[in-house]
Copies of this chain bind each other. A is one copy, B any other.
């Protein structure tokens, strides 16, 4: 499919500023910039996974003010014009729409693959093959295509796709219709999904023609389409003025769950959205747990121990997360790791921006 491959742009969403990896993640150093990919940042690893299939000129990175300099420093090969900086984050629909509107003006007829910058993926070659097939499918059907990961366990922390009938395979890749998107299920439903063989994890990775996403946003998020029209008409200054007024909604909820004719490409690889320290342990750790940076541990197999500076010494604490930085240290049992958000809220309320 040379036609679709030549028209493919890879859009990397690198605007997140989560707090779940505090104190390693900070307002100006969000998760995608952390060295969670074998010493590399998740962002860098995401770009390197697709770099063999598209030139840097067709990689677009969307990030947010405050993080943009760090993102640019992480990707020195990226042309400056290919870094889109949102004045403020407005969730993924605005992010994706903004790029689509730009490509509609500059490269109409092109195909967009959209990837989050903060996921861990086991097999880059499989990803590239699937993206290429996805581009071909999107091009052939002028459709919205989503990649779905074959579930390896009844995970309740992810959304699922329910698959419908097959359409003709493309590039050797099965293509299925999506019946519906399903929010995070309870344990019982998750087990049924895995048993059915008919459900995939919604991994937040999409491929579509610019025309198809343009139509879908105009149909399902007309307020967003109107705002983007105004921004494109008004130039850079207009983005600064108008971006904050865009509706704040995810592309999943705002478009994909509502759109008809969505196609899915099942893909099988190790995949994680690395949503928490224990989630990181699943992809990075082994029986000893996670060890990042200068760590000395006695009798602490299973602990998640990360430092980006100080020597971190642990004795007899197999069940904890300890994160050490020069100016902040966190200690929490693995089972309570989600409470980091509560702590960050408390620090924010206390005006502790010095450590956020």
Residue numbers of A with Cβ under 8 A of B are 23, 296, 298, 307, 309-317, 320, 322, 324-333, 336, 339-340, 342-343, 346-347, 350, 352, 355
Contacts and interface: CB of A to CB of B under 8 A. Distances in A.
Contacts of A316: 332-333, 336, 339
Contact of A315 (B307, B317, B339): B339
24 contacts: A296-B350, A298-B342, A298-B343, A298-B346, A307-B329, A309-B327, A310-B324, A310-B329, A311-B327, A311-B328, A312-B328, A312-B329, A312-B331, A313-B329, A313-B330, A315-B332, A315-B333, A315-B340, A316-B336, A317-B332, A320-B331, A322-B329, A324-B324, A329-B329
Given A331-B317, A332-B316, A340-B315, A325 B347 contact: no
A298 B298 CA distance: 26
A331 B315 CA distance: 6
A89 B116 CA distance: 60
Contacts of A343: 296, 298, 313, 315
A331 B331 CA distance: 8
A311 to B, nearest CB: 4
A2 to B, nearest CB: 54
Interface-centre pick from A23, A307, A324, A355 (highest chain B CB count, 10 A): A324
A331 B314 contact: yes
Given A310-B325, A324-B324, A315 B298 contact: no
Contacts of A314: 330-332
- Chain A to chain B: the 8 pairs with minimum beta-carbon distance, closest first: A315-B332, A324-B329, A311-B328, A316-B336, A314-B331, A313-B330, A311-B355, A315-B339
A314 B316 CA distance: 17
A91 B346 CA distance: 48
Given A315-B336, A315-B340, A317-B331, A326 B310 contact: yes
A324 B312 CA distance: 9
Contacts of A336: 315-316
A339 B298 contact: yes
Interface-centre pick from A311, A312, A343, A347 (highest chain B CB count, 10 A): A311
B328 A310 contact: yes
A342 B316 CA distance: 12
A324 to B, nearest CB: 4
Contact of A313 (B311, B320, B326, B328): B328
Contacts of A328: 310-313
A336 to B, nearest CB: 4
Given A307-B329, A310-B329, A315-B343, 9 more contacts: A298-B346, A309-B327, A310-B324, A310-B325, A313-B347, A314-B331, A315-B333, A315-B339, A329-B329
